[in-house]
Amino acid sequence: MASIESQDMTLEKLFDEFYVIPDYQREYVWEEKEVNEFIQDIYEEFSEQNQNSYSEYFIGSIIVCSRGDNLYEVIDGQQRMTTAYLVLCAIRDYLLTINSNERIEALKNKITSLYTDDWGNDQFKHRVELQYEESRGILESIAMQTDLDQRSPTRSVKHIQNAYAEIRKFLSLKFELDEVAISHIKKFYAYFLKNVKLIRVKTASVAHALKIYSTLNHRGLPLDDMDLLKNLIFAKAKQTDYEKIKVKWKKMIDLLYHSQERPMRFLRYFILARYAEDGNYIAEKEVYDWFLKNESRCGYNTEPILFVNDLLASAEAYVAFLSGNNIDGTVNRYLENIRCLSVNVRQHLILLLAAYQLPQYCFIELCRQVENLLFVAMLTSDRNQKAFDGMILKWASELRQITSRSEFNQFIAIQFFSSKQVVADKFEKAFHKLNKSSFQPYQIKYILAKLTQYIDETAWGSGGGIDDLSNYLLKLDVEQILPEYPTQKVILSFDKPREIESYSKLLGNLTLLESSIKSAITNMSFTGKKLNSNKLIKF
């Protein structure tokens, strides 16, 4: 069994050695709030103590793996370690701002130091180094008191810059900027090094460290299941594969980030689309446990690179679907339409992820059926969440098994057609009652656009932009044929004048017009609108 060495140590002892944050680790993510709490809690403990008898302050644990020669790879705890390192840099810079000749060699030695390499030569080294590309040398720049290249700062760079600025701001609030304050700052610095402690857990290998890190309690921001899964994959992978996995994982996360999609939602949908069985509902909080229990099904243990490839391909498909595209980048009119129907609907993505490897003609037909189904569900309020989710999972498990067009057509006939038939009467009654207030304005406009598009497409075919619903939604406005604010003459000419307001809001009284035409005829009678519109457009 691999050995585990646990050591209780002060920050003074911790920063006698050297640490690297490997490039497969999560980047620095602490915000100003976490940074301020970190240093504020330590300062309050320092302030409340008798100056002759300071108590210890515990900040949690870190997990490291030895690389030899007093160099350790940090597996867990980089948020606290990086922040503590920034505190040392900020104290150094604050003291030198007061007195540029202040003797603080011991403090400087905790930030950077010399070590002897295997050839007996002195080498200059930072106590903490970030090896992930997104850091862009920011920590080294702060440690060396040099200017950072400001071009296109990454999220990690911004977080570290903000953390350092927050610590400097804290010091300026607690300590005066004069010679008298130097002794007080040095006492705080001494307390920070000698009385702030943590537990350093050292393991013999990276894989072993990754296996145990999640069992320890720590004060750092809790890792979500996406981070846990990444570390689980690295724990199973060969170290020679780390770079490949890191690159693919970063690409996946960046795709989701730039699409403003929650990675955890994608990960849950990935499981439900690719592995879940009928009725096997999985909540987001259960995602990591599911992966632990289903290692053999996913293959991340035996083929971690293939598993990550699958994740990345699914993320690329997921983002494409959200953008209204097929996986080859071509526009999918039905996915575009779904975005117009509802800005928040997402469950259909489970079906699409389960079926995106179908031939494109099958996939496009599936998208058409999904759009129809979502509209039926909206109109009939047939969206009992539990029942709807159960239906989606059942269909996803069936879609995964389809290998031919005939099987696909049979699936559509059995599942989609029959599901719509069940609510056909309810749908027809609801459609006849539709009025301007039945749904959000953008959804009413969607219905009118679909009706208009259908007429145009039947008459003229799908060319010339007719197949693009946005041409109707963005270029036309909703107009009431019976005017919204009728004159007395219009009211009296209507056969049911007392009911004219309710009739004027019905779907059959609504149409789409160009805004310039709408503004010209909006309060005219139907006869007046018909005569004038004939001069301007063809209905």
pLDDT tens digits for range 89-116: 999 999 999 998 999 999 999 999 987 7
Instruction: Average the pLDDT over 120-141 and give the result.
Output: 86
Quick one: 157 and 200 in the same domain? Answer: yes
Q: How far apart are CA 111 and CA 104, in angstroms?
A: 11
> Tokens 């009211």 correspond to what residue?
491
Instruction: Quote the pLDDT of residue 189.
Output: 95
Alpha-carbon distance values, 157 to 28, 73, 80, 148, 169 (Å)? 8, 21, 16, 10, 18
Quick one: 234 and 201 in the same domain? Answer: no
Among the ranges given (121-125, 391-395, 409-413), the one the predictor scored with the smallest mean pLDDT: 121-125
Is residue 433 one of the residues assigned to a domain?
no
Is residue 266 one of the residues assigned to a domain?
yes
Q: How far apart are CA 517 and CA 481, in angstroms?
A: 13
Quick one: 16 and 165 in the same domain? Answer: yes
> Tokens 């003229």 correspond to what residue?
460
Final residue of a domain: which of 167, 192, 215? 215
Final residue of a domain: which of 428, 461, 485? 428
Q: Give the model's confidence band at 52: pLDDT under 50 very low, under 70 low, under 90 confident, else very high.
A: low
Neighbours of 271 (CB within 10 A): 21
Is residue 220 one of the residues assigned to a domain?
no
Q: pLDDT tens-digit profile of 61-96?
A: 898 988 877 789 998 889 999 999 999 999 999 999
Instruction: Average the pLDDT over 228-237 and give the result.
Output: 81
Q: What is the dihedral of CA 123, 125, 130, 132, to 10 degrees?
A: -20
Find all residues with CB under 8 Å of 14, minimum gap 6, and list them.
81, 84, 198, 200
Neighbours of 125 (CB within 10 A): 14
Q: Minimal CA–CA distance to 234: which of 23, 80, 4?
A: 23
Angle 74-35-201 from CA coordinates, rounded to 5°: 25
The DSSP element (H or E) to which 426 belongs, if any, is helix 424-432
Q: pLDDT tens-digit profile of 174-192?
A: 998 888 889 999 999 999 9
Quick one: 186 and 230 in the same domain? Answer: no
For residue 497, the 8-state DSSP code is: G
Phi, psi angle pair for 445, to nearest 5°: -65, -35
Instruction: Quote the pLDDT of residue 217.
Output: 40
Quick one: 201 and 251 in the same domain? Answer: no
Q: Do residues 254 and 322 make contact, with C-beta atoms less than 8 angstroms apart?
A: no
Q: Minimal CA–CA distance to 19: which of 113, 141, 145?
A: 113
DSSP helix, strand, coil percent of the chain (3-state; round to 5): 60, 10, 30
Q: Give the model's confidence band at 224: pLDDT under 50 very low, under 70 low, under 90 confident, else very high.
A: low
Is residue 436 one of the residues assigned to a domain?
no
Quick one: 172 and 135 in the same domain? Answer: yes
Q: Does 536 score more than 80 pLDDT? A: no
Instruction: Quote the pLDDT of residue 483.
Output: 83
Q: Which two tokens stand for residue 445?
A: 């406009």
Q: Does 237 score more than 90 pLDDT? A: no
Quick one: 296 and 382 in the same domain? Answer: yes
Q: pLDDT tens-digit profile of 333-386?
A: 999 999 999 878 899 999 999 999 899 999 999 999 999 999 998 888 755 667
Question: How much of the chain exceeds pLDDT 90, in percent?
Answer: 51
Q: How far apart are CA 283 and CA 479, in angstroms?
A: 44
The 3-state DSSP class for residue 198 equals: strand
DSSP string, 509-533: GEEEEEHHHHHHHTTS-HHHHHHHH
Q: Give the model's confidence band at 227: pLDDT under 50 very low, under 70 low, under 90 confident, else very high.
A: confident
Q: Does 216 score more than 60 pLDDT? A: no
Is residue 127 one of the residues assigned to a domain?
yes
Q: How far apart are CA 116 and CA 124, in angstroms?
A: 9
Q: Give the model's confidence band at 220: pLDDT under 50 very low, under 70 low, under 90 confident, else very high.
A: very low
Quick one: 205 and 328 in the same domain? Answer: no
Q: Does 490 score more than 90 pLDDT? A: no
Is residue 516 one of the residues assigned to a domain?
yes
Q: Parallel, antiparallel, or unpaired: how do β-strands 4-10 and 196-203 relate? A: antiparallel
Final residue of a domain: which of 371, 401, 428? 428
Q: Give the model's confidence band at 210: pLDDT under 50 very low, under 70 low, under 90 confident, else very high.
A: low
Alpha-carbon distance values, 120 to 110, 112, 123 (Å)? 22, 19, 9
Q: How far apart are CA 316 and CA 333, in angstroms?
A: 18
Quick one: 115 and 139 in the same domain? Answer: yes
Q: How far apart are CA 500 and CA 483, in angstroms?
A: 10
Q: pLDDT tens-digit profile of 416-429?
A: 998 889 889 999 99
Q: Does 282 score more than 90 pLDDT? A: no
Instruction: Average the pLDDT over 33-50 and give the result.
Output: 90
Q: Give the model's confidence band at 261: pLDDT under 50 very low, under 70 low, under 90 confident, else very high.
A: very high
Quick one: 152 and 41 in the same domain? Answer: yes
Quick one: 493 and 377 in the same domain? Answer: no
Quick one: 385 and 474 in the same domain? Answer: no
The DSSP element (H or E) to which 111 belongs, if any, is helix 105-111
User: What angle, rounded to 10 degrees, do the helices at 263-274 and 242-258 form?
Assistant: 110
Q: Does 249 score more than 80 pLDDT? A: yes
Instruction: Quote the pLDDT of residue 151.
Output: 54
Task: Tell me the pLDDT of the chain averaged across its residues.
Answer: 87
Q: How far apart are CA 31 and CA 37, in angstroms?
A: 10
Q: Give the model's confidence band at 218: pLDDT under 50 very low, under 70 low, under 90 confident, else very high.
A: very low
Is residue 126 one of the residues assigned to a domain?
yes
DSSP string, 118-174: TTS-EEEEESEEE-SGGGTTHHHHHHHT-PPP-SS--HHHHHHHHHHHHHHHHHHHH
- When divided into structural domains, the chain yields a total of 3
Q: How far apart are CA 371 and CA 450, in angstroms?
A: 11
Instruction: Quote the pLDDT of residue 1.
Output: 43
Is residue 434 one of the residues assigned to a domain?
no
Domain that holds residue 515: 441-536
Find all residues with CB under 8 Å of 38, minimum gap 6, and list them.
30, 59, 80, 83
Instruction: Quote the pLDDT of residue 221.
Output: 45
The helix/strand count (H/E) of the chain reads as 27, 10
What does the H/E/C string look like for 344-402?
Answer: CCCCHHHHHHHHCCCCHHHHHHHHHHHHHHHHHHHHHCCCCHHHHHHHHHHHHHHHCCC
